[in-house]
A and B are shown apart, each in its own frame.
Chain A
């Protein structure tokens, strides 16, 4: 089945130790999104790619970076995780050429900071 796959499902890292989260998709969608969701809060958009065009939200901390080496893969890099970065990180995709059909989410990566 076509889908959005996030790895790992659970990630534990130490305070200040860089971490990378991975997202891949078989939907061939041209837009990929990264969201942060903390407990009992709405998902918060961090950034998105339209093809290789990177779009950062104004309030996304500089500590968060992203890479999209090809259509299928997108990575979220947290350079120096702080305790406040513990959250669920969600990757989603959509197809802009089909009028932004609904975003399809992966299962998420739960990030814990020690």
Chain B
């Protein structure tokens, strides 16, 4: 059973702090890794994609990938109350293109 594991949280951080979200996956054949943000009652919105080991930065967001450890993380710098949402980690099942989602981590940013 291919799995993606996330801590469901909630993760609570003060405004302006760095939020660190973590994800592990079991399928060594996974090629692509994504972070989606989902506000309550809304659909998932892609915020980061990463395909190779290392860091990828986009504005306040940094994704980190370590394929040897089967570990993906998302850092949110200068967290804002508007970042409060559930963050879904998703990885491709081998090279099929199908996504396996984690349960999501709920982030609360307190003013």
Contact = CB atoms under 8 A, between A and B. Distances in A.
Interface of B: 4, 32, 34, 36, 41-46, 49, 88, 92, 95, 97-99, 101-104
A21 interface: no
Contact of A96 (B43, B46, B97): B97
B42 A43 contact: no
B97 A42 contact: no
Nearest to A104: B46
Given A107-B42, A107-B43, A108-B43, A102 B49 contact: yes
A51 B106 CA distance: 35
Interface of A: 31, 33, 40-43, 45, 48, 88, 90, 94, 96, 100, 102-108, 110
A106 B102 CA distance: 19
A108 B42 contact: yes
Contacts of B45: 105
Nearest to A100: B97
Contacts of A41: 103
A104 B42 CA distance: 13
A45 B97 contact: no
Contacts of A40: 103
Nearest to A6: B43
Contacts of A90: 43-44
Nearest to A50: B97
A88 B41 CA distance: 8
A33 B36 CA distance: 16
A45 B97 CA distance: 12
A103 B62 CA distance: 20
Chain B CB within 10 Å, residue with most, of A31, A40, A43, A104: A43
B32 to A, nearest CB: 6
Given A31-B97, A42-B103, A43-B101, A105 B34 contact: no
A100 B103 CA distance: 22
A102 B97 contact: no
A42 B98 CA distance: 14
Most buried by B among A40, A42, A43, A100: A42
